[in-house]
Structure 1
Amino acid sequence: MDWIRLPVGLLQANAYIVYDKQGSCLIIDPGDEAKKIHQFIRKKKLQPQAILLTHAHFDHIGAVEACREKYRIPVYLHEQEKKWLSNPHKNGSAQYEGAAPVVVQQADHLFSGEERVTVGAFSFDVLPTPGHSPGSVSFFFQESGFVIVGDTLFKKGMGRTDLPGGQEHQLIRSIREKLYTLPEDTYVLPGHDDVTTIVQERDDNPHVNGKT
């Protein structure tokens, strides 16, 4: 299994495409620039199976409808943010200067807790990691050694908690209990900026490790 990081949109949020040798793929957090996502899929001759959302902020969902309509695939999201997709005030697009209001139809499948999910040939663990937003989740692909964390954890940083529903103590607890407990060589694929690893962040992340 392989993956590619595609920074998209005004905030350069990371969209990810996870794909296997047979040509199936998952689209994760298609935040904008649908053409960029489509071009990679076409180049690799991939067959999308689903869209997975780590959370429902506008910079991670802006190209959902373009991808859902083109490939006729379902969308997965945590149930706590099911109303955010269609509400620009909840998903933040109404408040962000320079962003058009983002309205997305409801998700086809809702996560409710920690669970093992299989979509086509892909199996992964859904880890609830709230704090940046109430319904933030991470997708752990254990066999391939990586976790896609949205805006929960960054390289030497962590997600914002000053947005609606954000809670700093909850975010730190999510990172320590759900992410830092993963195998230390696990690659961390964040919602913005560069890839890191669990051991790097567990050892050197001042924003998480310096908190009590």
Structure 2
Amino acid sequence: MKLHVQQFTFNPFQENTYVVYSDSGDAVIIDPGCYERYEEEELTDFIASNNLTVHALLNTHAHIDHVLGNAFVLGNYDVDFYIHPLDVVTLNSVQNYAHVYGFPNYKVSPQPTQQLSHGEKLTFGDIEFEVLFTPGHAPGHVVFYNAENGFVINGDVLFNGSFGRVDLPGGDLETLKRSIFKVMFELPEETVVYCGHGEKTTIQKEKAFNYILSF
């Protein structure tokens, strides 16, 4: 089934929120970073105008910029919320520092209803993902891979030419390197990588030019 990936760039961190949807109208929301009202409306207007049915909220990880809109999404759509269990602590810590990062009106994320595991297959109508565990940037980081359409929603593991920072709690460079070299770089080279910040890239390009090769 042909899938489409719609990217939104939200909040001062310029975080990429994704809606993955099928021609039949099935949809999932990944890493909702919407904080301002106009950002929330941009997301819901797209879903409504395309007659999409949202089936799930997925988090690649739970740093503040990727979960600012969790409460909003779950308040608008009666869906399950998926995250890796090792990032629940990260999720629950956001409320303790949101004001320091300039988000005094952060709405605390609800707790996940489903836990993700490496190699797990997810199906939401016509949408299918394989969950790949990719810690290093965050302890419970995962990516969502669709082999049929040749793309991966990769959060903050790989960026176009670079990689996710490792100086936040739970971050570790050697762990991230293993995730990149042993998981991400094992995907087919033509795989399109949708990043948590910045432009999309490909596995082929990052295997040749990514800054991680210098470490």
TM-score between both structures, scaled by the size of structure 1: 0.93
Superposition pairs of residues 1-212 of structure 1, within 5 angstroms: 1-32=3-34, 33-88=39-94, 93-96=98-101, 98-100=102-104, 101=106, 103-205=108-210, 207-211=211-215
Higher relative CO (Cα under 8 Å, sequence separation at least 6) belongs to 2
What is the count of residue pairs matched by the alignment?
A: 208
Cα offset, 1:12, TM superposition: 1.1
Cα distance per residue 1:73-100 (max 9 Å; x no partner) = 111000011233333267x53542x223
Contact conserved, 1:58 with 1:102, CA < 8 A, in 2?
no
Q: Compared with structure 1, are the counterparts of its residues 109 and 16 closer, same or farther at alpha carbon in structure 2 (3 Å cutoff)? A: same
CA distance in 2, matches of 1:115, 1:193: 27
CA distance in 2, matches of 1:88, 1:52: 17
Cα distance per residue 1:123-155 (max 9 Å; x no partner) = 111000000000000000111110011011000
Percent of aligned pairs with the same residue?
A: 38
CA distance in 2, matches of 1:84, 1:168: 18
Contact conserved, 1:115 with 1:125, CA < 8 A, in 2?
yes
Unaligned residue ranges in structure 1 (runs of 5+): none
- Aligned alpha-carbon RMSD (Å): 1.4
Query: Aligned with 1:3: secondary structure?
Result: strand
Query: Aligned with 2:207: secondary structure?
Result: helix
Contact conserved, 2:95 with 2:108, CA < 8 A, in 1?
no
